[in-house]
Amino acid sequence: MLRYIVPLVVFLGVAGFLLKGLDLNPREVPSPFIDKPAPDFTLQKLLTPEVQFSNKDMLGKVWLLNVFASWCVACRSEHPLLVQLSRANLVPIYGLNYKDAPSDAKNWLQQLGNPYTASLIDYDGKVGIDYGVYGVPETFVIDKQGVIRHKVIGPVTPAALDNCVLPLVKKLQEAAPQQVIKRTEVEGCV
């Protein structure tokens, strides 16, 4: 009897792992930045290049940093949702214009609408490297203390926005200045 049970159990084990593997997304690399301070940067603003922007300017506020580029196809599909989100005025969205010609980016925003409080020029992609960006678009949720609390890889979907990003943003906004809130506290983020 055992000679049949053992292979069966082994087979079921392997099949179980493979089945689980079908659901996993190999493109989604767990970000080492979650719950770490957002890397510091100072960049020129896209529309007013004479003005510099630093991530430190945002201390005390909850904000989204959306990495985008005019050459990025998935950014185009994500864009209407961002425009919609910016109209709702729930949270400031800053754009990190990653490895893009400023003129292209300006055209792009003019055509498709500009959801960003400000876009920042990361022409050589150095800030992108500091933020571990590997697949544009990416969206970081940063809390009042300047700590990254969540990262969406690839286009933000309406479901991800409603179930995770917005509830998390709300919690972070309601938190006391020094209170630590992790994304694990929001059901839709886990």
Residues at the site binding another protein, with contacts judged by CB under 8 A: 26-27, 29-33, 99, 124-125, 129-132, 134-135
For residue 89, the minimal CB distance to another protein (Å) is 32
Distance CA 124, CA 149 (A): 26
For residue 109, the minimal CB distance to another protein (Å) is 22
Q: Nearer to another protein by C-beta: 32 or 177?
A: 32
Q: Quick check: 168 and 183 in contact, CB under 8 A?
A: yes
What does the block give as tokens for 162? 């409603």
Q: Nearer to another protein by C-beta: 133 or 166?
A: 133
For residue 72, the minimal CB distance to another protein (Å) is 11
Q: Nearer to another protein by C-beta: 131 or 140?
A: 131
For residue 127, the minimal CB distance to another protein (Å) is 11
Q: Nearer to another protein by C-beta: 28 or 174?
A: 28
For residue 151, the minimal CB distance to another protein (Å) is 11
Residues with Cβ within 8 Å of residue 26, at least 6 apart in sequence: none
Distance CA 120, CA 135 (A): 18
Q: Nearer to another protein by C-beta: 30 or 177?
A: 30
Distance CA 44, CA 120 (A): 6
Alpha helices in 24-155 (DSSP H): 73-88, 102-112, 126-130
Distance CA 124, CA 128 (A): 9
